[in-house]
Structures are given as C-alpha cells and as structure tokens.
Structure 1
C-alpha cells in the first residue's frame, strides 16, 4: 500500500472526526482526498463522495433522532426539492457536461478541471461561512414558521450544488433552517444531517445507473469515515467545537486556494 493511499484512508478518518466534532464541514474534504490521494477522477469522486457523505450524515442523524432534535416536517419540506434537484443533476446534467468547456489560445478547460475549480469555489464559500460564523447558540424554542417559496428555492439550489460537487451543503442548509424556518441552532444542525443524508444517497442512485462503482473500496472508505464520526463525537466532550470550526474554516480556505492553483498550473 502506497503512502498516498494510507494518507487517503487517514483522510477518510479525518472526514468523520470533523463531522462528529462540529456536525458538518468534513464532507468538503471528501472529493480532494479521493482525487489527490486516491487518484480517482473528479466525476467518479463526486459520486463516491455522495455515498460517503450520505452514510456518515445518516449515522449522525440517527444519533440526533434518539435525542429528539430532528424537526421532521422541516426536513421533508426542504428535502423534496433538494433530492429532486440532486438526482436530476447526477442523472442528466453531469453526464451532459461537455468534455471540453473552454479552449482559448491553447488553454483548455476540460470537464474534470471545471468540476474541481467549481468545487474549490464552493470550498472558499464554505470556509468564509465557517470563519465568520458568529451565530449564538439558540436554546429557546421558537414557533417554527415556513417560508415555503424560499425553502423550495434554497433546497433546489443546495441540491444542484450537491449534485455537481458531491459535498453535503450543510453550510447552506443550516442558515436556511435558522432564517427560513426559525429552528433553534441545535435542531437546525440535527435536521440538516437528515436532509444531507437523504439528498446525498438519492443523488448517488443517479450515478449507480450509469457509473461503475468499486464497492469494496467505497464501503471500506465509508466505514473508516463512520468510525471517525464516533471518535469525533467522543472528542466533542473535550474540544471547543466553535473554535475548531473556525480553525477548520481556515484549513478549508487554504485547501480551496491550493486546488485552484493545482488545477490551473498542472
């Protein structure tokens, strides 16, 4: 086993640890780990990421269900447009993207490079969101109100982005649940995991129908991530999650810049 492969499996563990510690953000590492350490092409990596993220989020969602933190009605209202969008994106839009996106004076932007650059941009947005996240923990129960048109638009947008880059989109979902449905922060985080699980796994179905899936590798990688979640949940008792989230945001920012640099100079 090569050193990069060992680092890749360690990356799988780290993805789970981050998810367990801060309830999100770890999935943004899945595609870079698969592409740069496991040498999987970006289109396949985004498909694998949907499965890894979906299963990991489902484990976290079950844990939150046991604590009564999941708002099922909000999850359903948000999930329906999200999983429709992500399935359509994986089934029809991603396969329809041309192999050559741009060809100007010898500079060729192909499909794989385009997906990685778009993914890096999403990473930068996620990083800024994590670094600047100054929301206070809201413990009191508020009357949940549904702004249905905005929730549908937000769900569709998140589904589209998830379908293209294979990330969970928690950094988009959580603010939407707090602002549009007025959920307390802990319920928003818990409910977002269920939404991420549903739309990611349904999106992955769109890939199973036309892509070859290396199931032994994918299941091993996912199992290591799930182990990481339980380690993260345990570490959460001793580490300040808010400070960790800010530090992780800076790490994701650097990674996003690195990916853009690598793709444009390779």
Structure 2
C-alpha cells in the first residue's frame, strides 16, 4: 500500500494546490488517507493535521522570504484560529467518525463554491499597489471582531475534521482585512500551519483514550510528496492562470464530496 502510485500522486497534488492557491489542497488529505491509504477516519484526521501543518509551514517559509506573510494578520486571525483548532480536536472525542466525515463532505461542498467563484470578484485580487501596504492598525473594531470570529470558526473546523481551511481564510483576509491576493495566500499558509499543529497536539493527547494509532511511515511518505508539490507550486504560481486552476479544482471537489456523502449516509 505504501507504494501505491495514487498515494504519491494525490499527495503531490495536495501540496501543489496549497502552493498555487494557498488553499484547497489540504481538503484532499483526509480522503486520500481514508479511501486510498485505508486509514481509520479518526486516525486520518489526526494524520492530516500533521501533514498539512508541515506542508503549509514549508510553503509559508518561501513566502516569508519574499516578505509576503503579514504577521499582524497572523496575530489577529491566526492566534484565535490556533486556539479554536485545539478546541475542535477536543470536541472530536464526542463526535462519531461518520458524523465527522459528513461534516467534512459538507465543508468540501462549501470549498467548491469558493473555488468556483470568479477570482475577479474578490477584492484586491489584482494586487494593486495602493492595497499592498494595508495596515492592521487601520482596522475598525468591527473588522477586528470579524477576523477573530472567522478565525475561531475556521480553527474549530480544522481541529474537528482535519481541514486546513485555506478556502475560508483567503476570502476572509481579502474581504475583511482588505489584504492583497498574494499576501492573503502567503498568510493563509502560515495560519494553516499554526492551527494544524495545535489540533494535532490535542489529538496526540487523546491517543490513549481513543485508541488512536498513527501510521508514521505513511505520514512521512505523504508529507515528503506534498512538500515537493508545495515547493513546485510556489515556483510556478506566477506562471499559471490561477483563476482557471481554482475553477478546475472547485469542480473536482463536487464529485468527491458526493462520494464521501454516499459512503457515510
């Protein structure tokens, strides 16, 4: 099973999507682990958090070197998200695996909707110079509150079902924080890493109570392939039509979410 080509290909595609879009790819990790690697659902969610955290952190390092990660947004959005991810992982012990997968499929449909939305409809998608240096200091109280609430919602989902939530983080940073597209993608990767590690820490604590066994060789394999994908995506992100990529990815999520729903109802 470790040498199943579909595992390698799926992991590379997951990382590639994260590198290109700052979102979406992590939502492939749980289905990859459950339906191709045949991991138990709860173990797959925990493993997904670790894999996604490492891959997102790798991608964010390259963006940090380009000075695209906005650490003021990391504090306002990322810290609440990280704490909420820990709480979401805590909640997982009271939620059945089938319910988690149904929630996951529903979130996947939501992600598809965000992906299919034309990128031109998003604010600051053209990276205009006037918006590049937007400051958190200029935020209104309402913007602060909205960012915190969005961070809590995304983090809770991340901890509960193992998604990175970039498809929600990027629009939130664009609409609420008025960040540029490039900064939203870069900052999203960093926030995904924060919340993923926080959620995984709680799952490791719950291992003894839930009899959760992690497949370390599989985690290493998927992580290595996905890191290759995210680095490749970071290299070619400015050379590919991002709007078209988002729509193709969003369209592909629809049958995948239907498959998960079918297998859990």
TM-score using structure 1 length: 0.88
Aligned pair in 2 of structure 1 residues 30, 240: CA closer, same or farther (>3 Å)? same
Structure 1, gaps ≥5 residues long: 98-110
Aligned-partner Cα distance in 2 for 1:47–1:73: 28
Counterpart position of 1:152: 148
- Measured on the aligned residues, the alpha-carbon RMSD in Å equals 1.7
Residue-pair matches, total: 249
Counterpart position of 2:92: 94
Counterpart position of 1:128: 113
Counterpart position of 1:167: 163
TM-score using structure 2 length: 0.88
Counterpart position of 1:101: none
The yes-or-no answer on 1:26 pairing with 2:25 is yes
The yes-or-no answer on 1:118 pairing with 2:103 is yes
Aligned pair in 2 of structure 1 residues 238, 72: CA closer, same or farther (>3 Å)? closer
The yes-or-no answer on 1:188 pairing with 2:197 is no
For residue 229 of structure 1, report the CA deviation from its aligned partner. 1.6
Counterpart position of 1:259: 260
Aligned-partner Cα distance in 2 for 1:236–1:183: 18
Aligned-partner Cα distance in 2 for 1:62–1:231: 13
Aligned-partner Cα distance in 1 for 2:78–2:233: 26
Aligned-partner Cα distance in 1 for 2:249–2:9: 16
For residue 132 of structure 1, report the CA deviation from its aligned partner. 1.0
Counterpart position of 1:197: 193
Flag the structure with higher helix content.
Answer: 2
Aligned pair in 2 of structure 1 residues 181, 2: CA closer, same or farther (>3 Å)? closer
Aligned pair in 2 of structure 1 residues 187, 41: CA closer, same or farther (>3 Å)? same
